[in-house]
Structure 1
Amino acid sequence: MKLEFPKGFYWGSAASATQTEGAANEGGKGKNIWDHWYEIEPRRFYDEVGPGKASEFYHHLENDLKLLNQTGHNSFRPSISWSRMFPKGYGEVNQDAIKFYNKLIDGMIAEGVEPFINLYHFDMPFEMQKIGGFENKEVVNHFVKYAETCFDLFGDRVKRWFTFNEPIVPVHGGYLYDFHYPNKVDPKAAFQVAYNTILASAKAIAAYKKSQDGKIGIVLNLTPSYPRSQHPSDLEAARISDLFSNRAFLDPSVKGTFPEGLKVILERHSVLPDYSIEELEIIKKNKVDYLGVNYYHPHRVCARTTVPNLESPFMPEFYYENYEMPGRRMNIYKNWEIYEQGLYDIALNIRDNYGNIEWMVSENGMGVKDERRFAKEEYIEDDYRIEFYEDHLYWLHKGIQAGSNCIGYHVWTFIDNWSWMNAYRNRYGLVSLNLKTGTRTIKKSGYWLNEVKTNNGFEYKREWKLGE
């Protein structure tokens, strides 16, 4: 069957500054939390490889941008590095950074690629983290000033913005589960960071709408929560999991209000963040224009089978357990379930419960360990990745046919990049990167996406069976 997508559909990919730019100590860039953490604990990084060089996008910009058209991009979502723009997170703007990002944006437009610019992708300036990061509302105000500067400098050409990418990840990684700096296990701090991030997003949106005429949104990684069974206890576990995993950021971003059930739980455990009525009004009045959705895997849960230790720090898992469904399909390299229909369920949820707001798939991808072992004279025939994309697009297409207002599909990622703690172990790119030579080589998936963009769709050959 031929899957055709709406006219003007956005095709492309996403990337982040810290994972791609390199030049960590060049061009006036200040230190961010990843630079600092790698300095003090390199052994926590895969093969002790840090972000110093990354994919060298900073130095290969002109040639890399020429690859966008060859790999199916009519749009592209990079991020701006806050610590490159403001080495200390505030103060005088870095002129070298302005030149670089002007070159990036102008180069994209010259290639016929619309820029979708993200302001924050996990890369807190270290000077801001030293005063508490997003635990501190002073940092919220510094972020808004940084955002305003970007709007003023680049807003004449950039008409699609995102405030944050996956804001729940720094909360989980930095303040609950110890996989990002500052490596705290402090639920009170975690929920303060979450709240202050939403406040920062709303304040940046308010600033944007005072002077700009484009659209501004937020990127959330949505993981549908599926219960093990229809037993009331399993259903309740899924409801609470959804509160923490999805609605904690989705509701205030799109509806302007926090879920009441979430507030009840946080009060019960004495971890409700500090807030004011005035701040809640700012959040209520400054909702997103559109939504980015990163989707990789579902979240399956069940009722707890054991009683949590009430003396330990509060975790959302006090109310549910993760459930490993027998027979699930897995990406063995990430230990993530592959469940394409989740994208359809997200589409209908947005349609039915969030005013059918304009949204796009802002990331979807498949990481494969040591993928270059498949290279034949640098070329990689990654049919497994193409199949992954096609199956997800099938279910996305069904969601669009059902009336969900989806405007685009971006994959993760453009060129194989450095990953936060896993270096280059798992590869995701449409373009392969040879770490020894710096050579870029388009993979089969890159040529495939170019054909999809050219035809605004593709011929889908798989037959889905009931329940698959």
Structure 2
Amino acid sequence: MPVTRKDFPKDFLFGAATAAYQIEGHSFGGAGSTHWDTYAATPGNVIRAEDGAIACDHYHRYEEDLDFLKDGGFDTYRFSTSWARVLPEGRGQVNEAGLDYYDRLVDAMLARDLKPNQTLYHWEMPSALADLGGWEHPDVADWFADYVEVITKRIGDRVSKIATINEPWCVSVLGHFIGRHAPGKVDVRSAARAVHHVLKAHGRGMTRLREMGQKDLGIVVNYEAVKPGSDDPRDVAAANRQHAIMNQLFMHPLFKGEYTADAMEGYGPHLPKGWQDDMAEISQPMDWHGVNYYMLNRFAHDDTIPWPSLKQVEGPLPKTQMGWEIYPDGLSWLLTWLKDEYVGDLPMFITENGMAWPEADTGSNFGDTERWKYIQDHLAAVRQSMIDGANIEGFYYWSLLDNYEWAFGYEKRFGLIHVDFDSLKRTPKHSYYALTEWLRATD
């Protein structure tokens, strides 16, 4: 049977999530150029070379968008602040218009009784810093901490939670080793340095926030359920290797102060000199942990390619518009595994879970019953993990709005709210109405 709102504690938080570059409109309000602007302008990287210049124009329409959350009975909103909007050159001169915007945005959340859950970095490295090496530069952790201080001085007194970095695997591995995100590199040495410097920036950011007296601090890590492509022992080993270099790559340093043997096999020779000295700051205690989960991936051994010598293979389960295999049981497994292996009783939040789906225009709204089923099935998985002892305190659907989906441009739609990217008209989908009805059913 599907779970109901009554199956969760009264203080369990339900929200929706977005990211600055994906919705705000980066051409507004004095924001500086980012490496995503450069990446999108390079032929072949992004569908139709689309970028976030206009996006959903949340910069001007945030009141309307926040009303969807308030009217829908949500408790909280996960948003991000853009480094390049606050500091257009990444360092130095502050953009007061950017700080004023985030002032207004947070105040508008509070006026609607929404708890603001802030993410400090959701992938928009300022171009001026990217020109210096970005996440490969040894000083990037200090640059990040200085940005953290500037934005926190302005809005830190009103946000309820702060995450340092969203999905460090995407920032480092996807962007520097696989090459499908900005800056688009395929270089194991670049990736190793980015992996470590992202972790170091998290630690340095945490240190700066603690010095400023901030509480409720964490990081958001993305995970996947992993299965072998066959029963062949080599495929089983490949799946185990993927689990280690995906699901454990960041958690081992964050919670145990060391890299796994699998990570060291590929990245170890290329880590920056003296990396061990950073581990104490990287592994300092956090107040909560953010979990992003979307899909199951299957892997097979492939000895024709260098480390990690594996390839992804297609599975039989239904898939989203992104081609991601839908596997709700993977979320309950993941949360229980995280509890047992790393976080213990530390509170966890599902900071992203959702699906892209090409919904049908029914005339009155956009029909996406598949999305509502996806949400229900994953909420049931969250509930099961809580029964099994995981300390889960909240769930955020990704995303509130259809938005700029990075390398997929505006083609893939994750939103509860349909956005017409020509007129920017917002239209709630079936899933929005179903979820809001579910949230209100507390009697």
Question: Is contact 1:256-1:287 (8 Å) kept?
Answer: no
Task: Determine the structure 2 residue equivalent to 1:466.
Answer: none
Q: How far apart in 1 are the matches of 2:435 and 2:93?
A: 41
Task: Determine the structure 2 residue equivalent to 1:266.
Answer: 267
Q: How far apart in 1 are the matches of 2:326 and 2:197?
A: 33
Q: How far apart in 1 are the matches of 2:355 and 2:8?
A: 22
SS, match of residue 352 in structure 1 = helix
The structure-2 alpha-carbon separation of the partners of 1:291 and 1:456, relative to structure 1 and needing over 3 Å to count, comes to farther
Question: Is contact 1:151-1:212 (8 Å) kept?
Answer: no
1:376 shift after superposition: 3.1
Of the three residues 268, 292, 295, the one matched with 1:294 is: 292
Per-residue CA deviations over 1:68-94 (Å, capped at 9, x if unaligned) read 112342111111010000000011221
Per-residue CA deviations over 1:99-146 (Å, capped at 9, x if unaligned) read 100111110011011010001111100001000001002122111110
> Does 1:7 pair with 2:10?
yes
SS, match of residue 61 in structure 2 = helix
Q: How far apart in 1 are the matches of 2:83 and 2:161?
A: 18
Q: Give me the TM-score of the superposition, normalised by structure 1.
A: 0.89
Of the three residues 34, 39, 45, the one matched with 1:37 is: 39
Alignment of 1:253-332 (within 5 A): 253-267=254-268, 270-284=269-283, 286-302=284-300, 304=301, 306-309=302-305, 314-316=306-308, 318=309, 320-325=310-315, 327-331=316-320
Q: How far apart in 2 are the matches of 1:134 and 1:234?
A: 33
Where do 5+ consecutive residues of structure 1 fail to align?
458-468
Q: Give the partner amino acid of 1:307.
A: D
Q: How far apart in 2 are the matches of 1:150 and 1:105?
A: 12
Q: How far apart in 2 are the matches of 1:222 and 1:455?
A: 31
The structure-2 alpha-carbon separation of the partners of 1:244 and 1:261, relative to structure 1 and needing over 3 Å to count, comes to closer
Q: How far apart in 2 are the matches of 1:207 and 1:28?
A: 26
Question: Is contact 2:136-2:197 (8 Å) kept?
Answer: yes
Q: How far apart in 2 are the matches of 1:190 and 1:143?
A: 18
Q: Give the partner amino acid of 1:351.
A: K
The structure-2 alpha-carbon separation of the partners of 1:337 and 1:425, relative to structure 1 and needing over 3 Å to count, comes to same
Q: How far apart in 2 are the matches of 1:44 and 1:132?
A: 20
Q: How far apart in 2 are the matches of 1:307 and 1:227?
A: 15
SS, match of residue 295 in structure 1 = strand
Q: Give the partner amino acid of 1:256.
A: G
Task: Determine the structure 1 residue equivalent to 2:336.
Answer: 348
Question: Is contact 1:379-1:443 (8 Å) kept?
Answer: yes
Q: How far apart in 2 are the matches of 1:76 and 1:247?
A: 28
1:148 shift after superposition: 1.6
Alignment of 1:96-135 (within 5 A): 96-135=97-136
Task: Determine the structure 2 residue equivalent to 1:365.
Answer: 354
Q: How far apart in 2 are the matches of 1:449 and 1:67?
A: 12
% identical aligned pairs: 30
Q: How far apart in 1 are the matches of 2:295 and 2:119?
A: 22
> Does 1:385 pair with 2:371?
yes
Task: Determine the structure 2 residue equivalent to 1:462.
Answer: none
Task: Determine the structure 2 residue equivalent to 1:171.
Answer: 172
**Alignment root-mean-square deviation, CA:** 2.0
| Between 397-406 and 2-11, the greater mean CA deviation after superposition | 2-11
Question: Is contact 2:196-2:275 (8 Å) kept?
Answer: no
Task: Determine the structure 1 residue equivalent to 2:83.
Answer: 82
Q: Give the partner amino acid of 1:381.
A: G
Question: Is contact 2:189-2:267 (8 Å) kept?
Answer: no
The structure-2 alpha-carbon separation of the partners of 1:231 and 1:375, relative to structure 1 and needing over 3 Å to count, comes to closer
Task: Determine the structure 2 residue equivalent to 1:54.
Answer: 55
Alignment of 1:237-248 (within 5 A): 237-248=238-249
1:229 shift after superposition: 5.7
Where do 5+ consecutive residues of structure 2 fail to align?
none
Task: Determine the structure 2 residue equivalent to 1:376.
Answer: 362
Q: How many residues align?
A: 439
Q: How far apart in 1 are the matches of 2:238 and 2:40?
A: 37
The structure-2 alpha-carbon separation of the partners of 1:430 and 1:71, relative to structure 1 and needing over 3 Å to count, comes to farther
1:315 shift after superposition: 4.1
Stretches of 4+ aligned residues off by more than 4 angstroms: 228-232
Task: Determine the structure 1 residue equivalent to 2:19.
Answer: 16
Q: How far apart in 1 are the matches of 2:385 and 2:8?
A: 11
1:405 shift after superposition: 0.5
Q: How far apart in 2 are the matches of 1:442 and 1:243?
A: 39
Q: Give the partner amino acid of 1:127.
A: A
Question: Is contact 2:402-2:415 (8 Å) kept?
Answer: yes
Q: How far apart in 1 are the matches of 2:273 and 2:181?
A: 23
Q: Give me the TM-score of the superposition, normalised by structure 2.
A: 0.93
Question: Is contact 1:133-1:139 (8 Å) kept?
Answer: yes
SS, match of residue 143 in structure 1 = helix
